[in-house]
Amino acid sequence: MKKILYVGIVALALLFASCATTSTRQPSIYNWSSYTKDTYDYIKSGEEDSIETVLKTYQWIIDNQTGTVRETVPPGVCADYGYLLAKSGRVQEGKKFLLKEKELYPESAPLVDSVIKMIER
């Protein structure tokens, strides 16, 4: 169930990734860095070693949105990051990022609330 939920979150984020532009004259809406590759590698391998790589990627994305059109974290990234932090034992830090996702994207509230409930069990 958790893996299905996680794949759903990633799919939602990838859907929003299409918001990025490829024009070199205009900055991208978001900076996704190696989000797609690292997330895919983590899901494909399922190994705990790859969780650190994807956590570093998510943290980099969160910290490096200066120069993009929106200058804010892309949709789904805080939720993914928070879920993986909680999964790796850093529950309070994970909840902080899940709540940040809800703050940035209020439409994500139902999904984020269900993830928080799942974490608290």
Please tell me the distance from the alpha carbon of residue 15 to that of residue 1, in angstroms, as a whole number. 21
pLDDT digits (tens, 9 = 90+) for 54-79: 999 999 999 999 999 999 999 999 99
Contacts of 103 (CB under 8 A, 6+ apart): none
Contact, 54 vs 95, CB < 8 A?
A: no
The pair of structure tokens assigned to 25 is 């004259």
Contact, 99 vs 106, CB < 8 A?
A: no
Q: Is the pLDDT of residue 84 over 70?
A: yes
Q: Is the pLDDT of residue 12 over 90?
A: no
